[in-house]
Amino acid sequence: MLSTEKTYRQIIRIAAFAGFVLNLILVEPAAAQYNDSTNIGQTNKRSRFHISANGVYAMLETNIRFESQNSILGAKINLEESLGFDKSRIMPMFMATFNIKNRHSLLGIVYSLPRDSYIETEREFEYNGNIIEVGTEINSYYNTNVFSIGYMYDVVRDSKANLGLFVNFYIMTLSSGIQTAGGLIDENFKVTAPLPNFGAMAQYKLSKRIGLSGLFSLFFLTVGDFSGAIHNIGGELDFYLTPWLDLGLGYYLLDLNIEAETSQFVGIFDFIYQGPYLSLGFSF
């Protein structure tokens, strides 16, 4: 099960998002009705496809924790501090929307973040009955691959503003391993986490050439021996260079927690990355 502190944090996030959505529902219907009657011609002229390629300068924090079922024994490893993983990386991320009809769209997100490290131990320690000596070479890796697809409904949609509520499904694969010279340590694991998610995406044109956009989403799920939570938030300043080309500068944060339980131990994986990004978008 997720810790009490983590559960409370997730409940607060859900409550905050519910209030955000309720505010949208109560405030925006009149505007949406007006937009439907006065801007339908402009709405139909909007591009059906939008694809963006993003380069995120990601600042990373990754923790792996293993606990025995009775919580008497446990170990926590910070990959950046303990195993020498980079604390920042340039991460490519691709996003796409496809307008099916009027206010209905599909939303897709793809990104991959392979990471590895090499260190030499600075002190002697014991692992599984074996003595790991000072100066032993340790190689490790931690790879993250994400594919997400979902559905979005536009609460507001006109030539100047767009507000969509979406639900999507993440397929997230995490794989990690650690090996020492001589094979005294050779551990690997891989987990594929299916996580549903819901949120809001907004866009507003300040002028013909400049606009603002952003997204917010969260979800948590507990099924049997598996628990997971994910939320992300992002904001962007957009520059419309041509009717089909745009450039964006923004900031993005993703917070992921996965807990998997077996008969011997509980494994908890916390992964946070955040940082500024540059995007290039195409509409057609």
Per residue in 97-124, pLDDT (tens digit) is: 999 988 999 999 999 999 999 888 887 7
Under the banding of pLDDT at 50, 70 and 90, the label for residue 239 is very high
- What are φ and ψ of residue 243, in 5° steps? -60, -20
Q: How far apart are the C-alpha atoms of 34 and 30, rounded to whole Å?
A: 6
Percent of the chain predicted with pLDDT > 70: 74
Q: How far apart are the C-alpha atoms of 266 and 107, rounded to whole Å?
A: 34
Q: How far apart are the C-alpha atoms of 76 and 3, rounded to whole Å?
A: 15
Q: How far apart are the C-alpha atoms of 141 and 241, rounded to whole Å?
A: 40
Query: 131: which 2 tokens?
Result: 């003595």
Return the minimum-mean-pLDDT range out of 78-82, 166-170, 224-228: 224-228
Return the minimum-mean-pLDDT range out of 19-28, 65-74, 206-215: 19-28
Percent of the chain predicted with pLDDT > 90: 38
pLDDT of residue 6: 53
Tell me if residue 185 falls in helix, strand or coil.
Answer: coil
pLDDT in tens, 121-176: 887 777 667 777 888 888 989 898 989 999 999 999 888 999 999 999 888 888 88
Closest residue by Cα to residue 58 from 96, 84, 95, 86? 86
* CA 47 remoteness from chain centre: 26
pLDDT of residue 65: 73
Return the minimum-mean-pLDDT range out of 40-54, 145-159, 186-200, 217-231: 40-54
pLDDT of residue 224: 62
pLDDT of residue 242: 94
- What are φ and ψ of residue 41, in 5° steps? -65, -40
